[in-house]
Amino acid sequence: MTNHAHLRKDSDVLLRVEDLVVEFKVPGNKVVNAVSSVSFDVKEGETLAVVGESGCGKTTLGKALLQIQKPKSGTVRFSDNELTALSKKELREARTSIQMIFQDPISSLDPRMTVRQIVEEPLWIWSKGDENERLEKVKTLLNNVGLDPELVLDRKSYEFSGGQCQRISIARSLALEPNMLICDEPVSALDVSIQAQILNLLNDMKDRYGLTLIFISHDLSVVKAISTRIMVMYLGKVCEIGTTESIYSKPAHHYTAALISSVPVPDPTHKLERTPITGEPPSPVDPPSGCRFRTRCPAATELCATEEPMLREVSDGQFVACHYPRA
Partner 1 sequence: MSSILKLENLKVRFSTHRGQLEAVRGVDLDVQAGTSIGIVGESGSGKTVMSRAAMGLLTGSNVTREGRVTFDGKVLSDMSRDEVRNEFGTGMAMIFQDPMTALNPVRRIGSQLQESLRIRLGMSRKEAKVRSIELLTLVRIPEPKQMLRKFPSQLSGGMRQRIMIAIAISCNPKLLFADEPTTALDVTVQAQILELLTDLRQKLNMTMVLVTHDLGVVAGNTDYVAVMYAGEIVEQAPTAELFANMKMPYTEALFKSIPNIQMKAGSRLPVIEGRLPDPTDRPPGCGFAARCNYAQDKCFSDHPELEKAKDGHLYRCWFPLGESIQRKVS
Partner 2 sequence: MRKLWSTFNLPTKISVVWVALVFFFVLTGSFLPLPDPTEFDPDASGVGLFSSGHLLGTDINGYDLLSNVINGARISILIALISVGVGGLIGSAIGIGSAYVRGKVDLVVNLFFNILLSIPNLVLGLALVAILATSVDPSIPIDPNRRVIIIIFSLTVVIIPILGRIARGATLSWVNREFIVAARSMGMKDRHIIFKHIVPNVLPAIYAVIFLAIGVVIVAEGALSLLGVGIIDGVSWGAMIGRVAGDFTYAPQSMYVPVIVLALTVIAFNQIGDHLRSQLDSREGKI
Residues that bind partner 2 (CB under 8 A): 63, 66, 68, 92-93, 95-96, 98-100, 102-104, 106-112, 121-122, 125-126, 158, 169, 172-173, 176
Minimum gap (Å) between residue 75 Cβ and partner 1 = 30
CA angle 65, 234, 250 (to 5 degrees): 105
Binding residues among 90-149 for partner 1 as defined by CB under 8 A? none
Minimum gap (Å) between residue 27 Cβ and partner 2 = 14
Minimum CB distance to partner 2 smaller for 169 or for 256: 169
Residue 26 binds partner 1, judged by CB under 8 A: no
CA–CA gap between residue 295 and residue 281 (Å, rounded): 9
CA–CA gap between residue 59 and residue 215 (Å, rounded): 10
Binding residues among 156-185 for partner 1 as defined by CB under 8 A? 161
Residue 218 binds partner 1, judged by CB under 8 A: yes
CA–CA gap between residue 12 and residue 135 (Å, rounded): 34
CB 76 within 8 A of CB 65: yes
Minimum CB distance to partner 2 smaller for 214 or for 220: 214
Q: Residue-wise over 270-294: b if at least 16 C-beta within 10 A, else e?
A: eeeeebebeeebbebeebbebbbbb
Minimum CB distance to partner 1 smaller for 29 or for 193: 193
Binding residues among 276-295 for partner 1 as defined by CB under 8 A? 277, 279-281
User: What are the phi and psi torsion angles at 265 (to 5°)?
Assistant: -105, 130
Minimum CB distance to partner 1 smaller for 1 or for 272: 272
CA–CA gap between residue 154 and residue 207 (Å, rounded): 29
Sheet containing 212-217, strands listed edge to edge, beginning at the edge strand earlier in sequence: 98-101, 180-184, 212-217, 47-51, 229-234, 237-243, 318-320, 312-315
- According to DSSP, residue 111 is labeled T
Residue 199 binds partner 1, judged by CB under 8 A: yes
Minimum gap (Å) between residue 66 Cβ and partner 2 = 5
Binding residues among 227-246 for partner 1 as defined by CB under 8 A? 227-228, 244-245
Residue 250 binds partner 1, judged by CB under 8 A: no
Q: Residue-wise over 232-247: b if at least 16 C-beta within 10 A, else e?
A: bbbbbbbbbbbbbebb
Question: Of partner 2, partner 1, none, which one does residue 176 interact with (CB within 5 to 8 Å by kind)?
Answer: partner 2
Minimum gap (Å) between residue 15 Cβ and partner 2 = 15
What is the contact surface with partner 1 in residues (CB under 8 A)? 53-54, 161, 191-193, 195-197, 199-200, 203, 218-222, 224-228, 244-245, 248, 258-260, 262-270, 272, 274, 277, 279-281
